[in-house]
Amino acid sequence: MQEAIRAIIGEAELRQGKVALDIPSLVENGNAVPLSVSVDSPMSPADHVKAIHVVNEKNPQPRVISVALGPRAGRARLATRIKLADSQKIVAVAEMSDGSFWSASADVIVTLAACVEDLQ
């Protein structure tokens, strides 16, 4: 997961705050886990979210989703369903127009895992 985050932010500092990650802390079935991410931003041409990235700790592929945004989006928010292979940490990273990166994380307990096949 740390490698996936470094691939996104490079050498920049990853700060806590501005990002709200909403995901259940206890999931019965890892095949369809609801997740939403919102970022506190005015979404103006001078100050907006350029992208939202979600990474995970234990799935075969650590990068879950990356969404590009701009000031015309109006709100910096995404909602989707993801698969989780096991109980793990999820991290959302917001890339801002000023070059800063903000994040939030959550620990999720999964009772029935998904993504159990190995990557070739």
- Our CA dihedral for 74, 36, 57, 50, rounded to 10 degrees, sits at 0
Residue 118 lies in a domain: no
In a domain, 120, yes or no: no
**Pair 52, 69: CB distance under 8 Å:** yes
Q: CATH no. for residue 52?
A: 2.60.40.2470
Please report whether residue 17 resides in a domain: yes
Smallest CA-to-CA distance from 97 within 52, 54, 46 is with 46
Range of the domain at 80: 2-112
Query: Does 24 fall in a domain?
Result: yes
The pTM (predicted TM-score) of the whole model is: 0.90
Evaluate whether residue 50 is within a structural domain. yes
pLDDT tens across 30-48, in order?
899 999 999 999 999 999 9
* pLDDT for residue 119 is more than 50: no
- State how many domains the chain has: 1
